Amino acid sequence: MDDREIGKILDQEIEIEKLKDVYQRLLEAAPDAMIIVAKNGKILLANVQAEKLFGYSRAELVGKDLHMLIPERVRKEHRGNVNFFFSNPQTRPMGTGLKLFALKKDGSEFRADISLAPLQIDSDIIVTAAIRDITSRMKAEEQIRLDYEIQRVTSAILKIALEPASLDEQLGRILELILSIPEPAAQTKGLVYTVDETSGKLVLRSHRGFPQAEAAKEDQSITPEIPLSPDVSCDFTRTGSPDAPYEIMCKRISGNHFIHYCIPVCEDDKTLGMISIFSRKWPMPEPYEELFFRAVAHTLAIVVKHVRLEAERQSLLEQLSKSERLAELGRISASVAHEIRNPLTVVGGFARLLQKRMADHSEREYADFIVSEVGRLEIILKDILSFSKTTALRLTDRKIHEDMDDIIKIYEDRLQEPPIAVERKYDYTGEVSIDVGRAREVIMNVISNALDSMSRGGTLSIATGLENVKGESYVTVRLSDTGEGIPADKLDKIFEPFYTTKLAKKGIGLGLSISKKIMEDHGGFMTVESAPQKGSTFTLYFPKKQKTAENK
């Protein structure tokens, strides 16, 4: 090789170095991180923006495997993509919609947008990659999408709440909405609970994604502290913050890779229910996911409260309507009773006169029949007048168990045939303020009904005690029989006026209505539990503390 050829080679090397310098300066001027990669996956060049973005010096990047900048969880897939690109090189601009991730020197990941431009040099191909960190942009887009989803779901939930459907149906449709969010939709299941206002326990109202048999195994009556599954508990922690008054519990379930979320449905300091979500796709909750959960839970609280208020309103309207009907019925009954009483008294007087004069007459039985029926009508009129009029109570302090013993003596004959045993259990023997006559009327009415129900004999149990109901103390009188019982479809009607399960000559169905009214006049109430062929239990609740009439 002569000096001329050597000179040419040196000139070419100088030119190459100049081109590399120009290319390097072009790379440095680029606003994006730029990396040039060879077909073997080695990094040939990197600009200063790449150093800043990834946290490596240029010396740490050049000559190293490209995949050091890729998260380990997607490296295998990325190697395949690189091989495919070099075998089918074509320019790929940014914004192609691919979900790409990159890895920094400190181990943190970021969402990346990457454009690729292949360049052929002789028989080799190199690729220039422009890389941008789009984490902030993606967060902004996710926030926009989240805001839209929150608005869409909450609007749909409120729309469902206005539809004429049961709470269970509404909660089922709302749960479907929650699970329809694109991100967690894959392999997701959930349950919705509400708190029973009486027991304070969570009751399963709706579920999605569970087989029917599996859902049936879920505890139908649980408290937040009791596990929902062997390794998951839902213990709500309150923070005291008005914006986020409770923590959303999130826990990984070992074995099946589910994430379990417990989202309490609260109104102020009161827990109304809970949303329980099981998902394979959601990661541990990000702030925007928690925001979504809270928005849904807040809207669901509005739905539950609305349904309960509507049910309470309907109940009050029914009670008002019923009270108005009863008042009108009372006025009509009183008017009719007064009109009938005078002629009935006359008929009864003449019938008894005939009964005395026909002592030895063969037709005496007719007079006896008239007197008997007149007597029954007089009792009916007495009941109607008692139901329709308002009587001021005359309260005195009494040991009610002593009155019970006196009443039982009145029924000694009826207790003999058929044989009916009487069991007494007086846990409370103190005093209570009652109107003796009216209270005895209630007790006698319930005992009489109990004896009528035990036509083949049985046991009458009487007991006294103390109970606390909604913060109020009551003296209770419990009367139980082992008679025929009351069918479930008739149990809620037995306190209605003129409703009776007895034969016509046994009464007209005012006894329990009058008894209920007397108990309410005392400031108390009465309840009934019954089952066919097992008997009935009536419980009378008298307020333990009550002012006497003189102190009112």
Q: Which domains does the chain have, with CATH numbers?
A: 11-133 (3.30.450.20), 143-299 (3.30.450.40), 391-551 (3.30.565.10)
**How high is the pLDDT of residue 53?**
94
246, with CB counted inside 10 A (0-12, 13-18, 19+), is buried
Helix axes 287-357, 135-161, angle to 10 degrees: 10
| Token pair in block for residue 423 | 């069991």
What residue has token string 């495997």? 65
| Three-state secondary structure string covering 7-21 | HHHHHHHHHHHHHHH
Residues of the chain short of pLDDT 70, as ranges, are: 1-3, 6-7, 9, 11-12, 16, 19-20, 95, 97, 122, 182-187, 211-259, 280-289, 319-339, 341-342, 359-362, 376, 379-391, 497-510, 546-552
pLDDT in tens, 165-224: 888 888 888 888 888 776 544 457 788 888 887 777 778 888 887 765 444 444 443 333
Question: In 3-state terms, the chain is what percent helix, strand and coil (to 5)?
Answer: 45, 25, 30
**How high is the pLDDT of residue 401?**
92
CA 103 to chain centre: 45
| Token pair in block for residue 3 | 């000096």
Q: What's this model's pTM, rounded to 2 decimal places? A: 0.43
Helix ranges (DSSP H) in 358-498: 364-388, 400-410, 436-453, 488-491
Dist. CA 340–CA 335, nearest whole Å: 9
**How high is the pLDDT of residue 173?**
87
* Strand order, beta sheet including 33-37: 43-46, 33-37, 124-133, 109-121, 100-103
